[in-house]
Amino acid sequence: MRSQTMHLSVECEGKKSAGMTIADLRRMPAVGAPIQVCVDVDAELAIDLLLDAFS
């Protein structure tokens, strides 16, 4: 898994985007809080680890 810090906020007023998470990816983010976001995952390994947890 690889994560990256992004400035995120939740859109509360948009008609089509209400409730969606918005990331400010500009070089100098102006809005949002810094949050660790998963940007890449080894899907096969993640599934194996999940299934192993139930066996």
Q: Measuring CA to CA, how many Å separate 22 from each of 15, 39, 41, 52, 54?
A: 14, 14, 21, 34, 34
Per-residue pLDDT of the chain (55 residues; tens, 9 = 90+): 999 999 999 999 888 889 999 999 999 999 999 999 999 999 999 999 999 999 8
Q: Measuring CA to CA, how many Å separate 36 from each of 1, 7, 23?
A: 12, 9, 11
Please state whether the predicted TM-score (pTM) of the whole model is above 0.95: no
Place of tokens 């066996």: 55
Calpha distance 43→40 (Å, rounded): 9
Token pair recorded at residue 23: 């990331």
